[in-house]
Amino acid sequence: MRYWLMKSEPGDCSIDDLASFPGQTVAWYGVRNYQARNFMRDQMRIGDGVLFYHSNCKEPGIAGIARVSSTAYPDATQFDKLSKYFDVKATPETPRWFNVDVQLVKKIALISIEELRRHPALERMRTLQRGNRLSITPVDPAEWNFILQNLVGD
């Protein structure tokens, strides 16, 4: 089992949106970074843990716990000419972009980025590293356990 931090802009898909979706599940669409795509396509497995992170907002931070609930499949938005995620080079025969489904485990009180930075146990966490802008990053099992045991309320 692996662990991931996945960023979503609340204006696009918030933790509350996820909680209201059928099956409390969302396709993690629109990723247009090759490294993040490769994480989904090549490494994510059903059951992997996810820290659902609100980004590009007034107060960024971890807003919920989720899990990967599907294997990777082609992101339909790459073929939709009306989508901001349309990719002229992608075809159904040779898709360039993939997504996985993510299912809510539980909404939590927001753990701000400032709170995450306060803990020496998280100082190597990839999303906290200077210059990191990836929307999906692996989370070390020790970091996952620290967050769940020390920062997530019941």
Print pLDDT tens along the chain (154 aa).
999 999 999 999 999 999 999 999 999 999 999 999 999 999 999 999 999 999 999 999 999 999 999 999 999 999 999 999 999 999 999 999 999 999 999 999 999 999 999 999 999 999 999 888 889 999 999 999 999 999 997 6
Residue 130, burial from CB neighbour count under 10 angstroms (0-12, 13-18, 19+): exposed
Q: Domain for residue 144, yes or no?
A: no
Q: Domain for residue 34, yes or no?
A: yes
Q: Domain for residue 39, yes or no?
A: yes
Q: Domain for residue 131, yes or no?
A: yes
pLDDT for position 132: 83
User: What's the domain range around 102?
Assistant: 3-135
pLDDT for position 154: 66
Global confidence as pTM: 0.94
Q: Domain for residue 148, yes or no?
A: no
pLDDT for position 6: 97
> What is the domain count for the chain?
1
Q: Domain for residue 45, yes or no?
A: yes
Residue 106 per-residue DSSP state: E
Q: Domain for residue 154, yes or no?
A: no
Q: Domain for residue 121, yes or no?
A: yes
Instruction: Write the CB contacts of 2 (distance below 8 Å, at least 6 apart in sequence).
Output: 43, 44, 45, 48, 49, 138
Instruction: Write the CB contacts of 138 (distance below 8 Å, at least 6 apart in sequence).
Output: 2, 3, 4, 5, 39, 43, 126
CATH number at residue 43: 3.10.590.10
